[in-house]
Amino acid sequence: MGKDNFPNVRMMQGNQACAEGALAAGCRFFAGYPITPSSEIAEHLSVALPRAGGKFIQMEDEIAAMGATIGASLTGLKSLTATSGPGFSLKQENIGYACMTEVPCVIINVMRGGPSTGMPTLPAQMDVQQARWGTHGDHSIIVLVAATAQDAYEQTIRAFNLAEKYMTPVILLLDEIVGHTTEKVVIPDASKIELIDRKKPDVPPEEYKPYAETEDLIPVLANFGTGYKYNVTGLCHNETGFPINDNAMIEKLIVRLTKKIVSNRDDIISNRTMSLDDAEIGIFAYGSVARSAQSAVTRCRAEGIKVGLLEPTVLWPFPKDEVLEMAKKVKAIIVPEMNLGQMAREVELASRCEAPILKLGRVDGNPILPDQIVKMVKEVV
Amino acid sequence: MIMERYEIRLSGSGGQGLILAGKILAEAAAIYEGRNAVQTQSYGPEARGGASKAEVVISDGEIDYPKAIELDLLLSLTQESCTKYFSDLKDGSILIVDSGLVKDLPEGDYRVYSAPITDIAVNKVGKAVVTNIVALGIVTRISGIVSEESMKKAILARVPKGTEELNMQAFDEGFKVGEELLG
């Protein structure tokens, strides 16, 4: 692509931006099974990863792809898989395995409509609760969301950093609109991109215990093949990684898996806001719908209506303090989303009845138009 | 002049190269002129033979909502797409149609430019495959939304090696027709 006038500017689809972001983050392994509307991520990496010295594998299905992603990460490679709706459902068992074994990896889910095979080519945001609770058992997880191609690039890098830092699977959600919109991405200089790598053992192999207690609650997993031998299991395990049945140890493990993420909420949570300071009506929106909301805020403000937007780029952990703060200031909070109120439910819980929550759900495969939001704002006024 | 939001929809049927044309147009604006541009496409069963469209929004400001809502320019290379989309044209906007394929022209407060786009590609340039590039030449001249130079750079960066000359000829033919249509 020619780019003589603006050398750092590229025109990219959101999906391609994810692939480029992954490469910039140091991702060197991808396993996946193509599925619309996420396929361009795999397509792009199937060419780019081998050129970067990485490995690309198309597996027999999504379950195996998730397993391969976890296995590759255990050797020290930053690993990625990408999927959509039904594929995301299939991956859930192994996502739980990654939570339990604390193997860092990134899962990108480009959301389409469901349930089941649903609407392969149409946008939706129906997997936001599945991303949090899709795998069974008590666990915590980090879920990011992107609204633009630039965002897709940057959030993919952040997803890898958070995965490595907290030794956890991290999920990045796009919706079909973000995945398939081609727009400007400014590629930062590689030296300006902050990269985080997982901790390495500071003891010799004979003294090494993978799940030994650490001050920050985050384990040190040595790379397979470097002389450090340990067991990895989905069963509750002790500090050596072998299964246990000791109730006190089980409790300690399960509590730690959640605590290592929740106690770092402030480091993980990230929001963008627009005109929120003096807002009388709040909007909570994420992904491509946040763009419709931005347009609605601009139009309402031009008419003198005080509307503001809270746009999380991290859905889980949920930004409950920020929502409560907004709820205390505004007369009502509108939650437009391409589902029947999955995050509105969270906003309602977090707002503690300080403001009424108005759902604006759309599930017909069309984007939420700025007009729809403006109309609801005017109804509230 | 600071431009707020210019919305273009390139419509026709699957196989006319309109999505590539949309990408080229967006790249011309964003990469060669440093503006913001967003390209989206309808994607699904209708991309296979039925009405197909690519949308480009160009702005000097940030582009929030990425899809076209009120069109400044509609290109229609089939009757079906013209009939389906003309109602999204805003007052004083531009409608460009293939005169060989769009016979029933809608009435409204917009300027209509009609030219045998497919026929020019087939008979003047010599290949139907460059219909989209002929159309881009007309769109460029009539809208003035991107410069001739930026469009040519963007086309050359996108088309397969060995077809540069053919595509430049197609663009020039379209540009010339646009000139004539403007009078």
User: Is residue A1 over pLDDT 80?
Assistant: no
Inside any domain, residue B126: no
- Largest interatomic CA distance in chain B: 43
Q: How many domains does chain B have?
A: 1
Q: Assign B43 a pLDDT band (cuts: 50, 70, 90).
A: low
For chain B, the first-to-last Cα distance in angstroms comes to 25
Q: What is the mean pLDDT of residues A201-216?
A: 97
CA closest to B150 among chain A residues: A5
- Share of residues in chain A with pLDDT > 90 (%): 97
Q: What is the mean pLDDT of residues A104-116?
A: 97
Q: Does B5 touch chain A (CB under 8 A)?
A: no
CA distance B103 to chain A (A): 31
Of A35-44, A106-115, A159-168, B35-44, the poorest mean pLDDT is in: B35-44
Phi-psi region of A118 (alpha: psi -120 to 50; beta: other; left: phi over 0): left
Inside any domain, residue B167: no
User: Is residue A70 over pLDDT 50?
Assistant: yes
H/E/C letters for each residue in chain B?
Answer: CCCCCEEEEEEEECCCCHHHHHHHHHHHHHHCCCCEEEEEECCCHHHCCCEEEEEEEEECCCCCCCCCCCEEEEEECCHHHHHHHHHHEEEEEEEEEECCCCCCCCCCCEEEEEECHHHHHHHHHCCHHHHHHHHHHHHHHHHCCCCHHHHHHHHHHHCCCCCHHHHHHHHHHHHHHHHHHHC
Inside any domain, residue B33: yes
Inside any domain, residue B51: yes
Cα(A250)–Cα(A243) distance, integer angstroms: 10
Fold equal for A1-268 and A273-380: yes
B39 interaction partners in chain A (CB closer than 8 Å): 11, 181-183
State the angle between helix axes of B18-31 and B131-143 in degrees (0 to 180), rounded to the nearest 10.
40
pLDDT at B41: 82
Q: Assign B48 a pLDDT band (cuts: 50, 70, 90).
A: low
pLDDT at A5: 60
Q: What is the CATH number of the domain that holds B36?
A: 3.40.920.10
Architecture of domain A273-380: 3-Layer(aba) Sandwich (3.40)
Cα(B92)–Cα(A175) distance, integer angstroms: 34
Residue for token pair 């992107």: A146
Q: Assign B46 a pLDDT band (cuts: 50, 70, 90).
A: very low
Q: What is the mean pLDDT of residues A236-247?
A: 97
- Give the full edge-to-edge strand order of the sheet including A357-361: A271-274, A307-312, A281-284, A332-337, A357-361
Inside any domain, residue B32: yes
Inside any domain, residue B179: no
Q: Does B71 touch chain A (CB under 8 A)?
A: no
User: Is residue A183 over pLDDT 50?
Assistant: yes
Cα(A69)–Cα(A81) distance, integer angstroms: 7
User: Is residue B47 over pLDDT 60?
Assistant: no
Beta partners for A333?
A282, A357
Give the pLDDT confidence of A5-25 residue by residue, as tens digits.
677 889 999 999 999 999 999
A121 interaction partners in chain B (CB closer than 8 Å): 43-44
Rounded to a whole number of angstroms, the CA Rg of chain B reads 15
Give the pLDDT confidence of A296-330 residue by residue, as tens digits.
999 999 999 999 999 999 999 999 999 999 999 99
Give the pLDDT confidence of A329-377 residue by residue, as tens digits.
999 999 999 999 999 999 999 999 999 999 999 999 999 999 999 999 9
The pair of three-digit structure tokens given for residue A7, joined into one six-digit string: 């050398």
Inside any domain, residue B170: no
pLDDT at B32: 93
Print the domain residue range for B47.
Answer: 6-117+147-159
Q: What is the mean pLDDT of residues A283-291?
A: 98
pLDDT at B49: 62
CA distance B91 to chain A (A): 19
Question: Whole-prediction pTM value?
Answer: 0.94
CA closest to B64 among chain A residues: A291
Give the pLDDT confidence of A128-170 residue by residue, as tens digits.
999 999 999 999 999 999 999 999 999 999 999 999 999 999 9
Instruction: Name which of A176, A294, A367 is nearest B64 (Cβ-Cβ).
Output: A294
Instruction: Find which of B31, B42, B88 to mutate to test the A interface (most A CBs within 10 Å of its CB).
Output: B31
Kindly indicate whether the domain formed by A1-268 is annotated with CATH number 3.40.50.970: yes
Q: Where are the domains positioned within chain A?
A: 1-268, 273-380
Mention every residue, 6+ apart, whose C-beta is less than 8 A from residue B108.
B86, B89
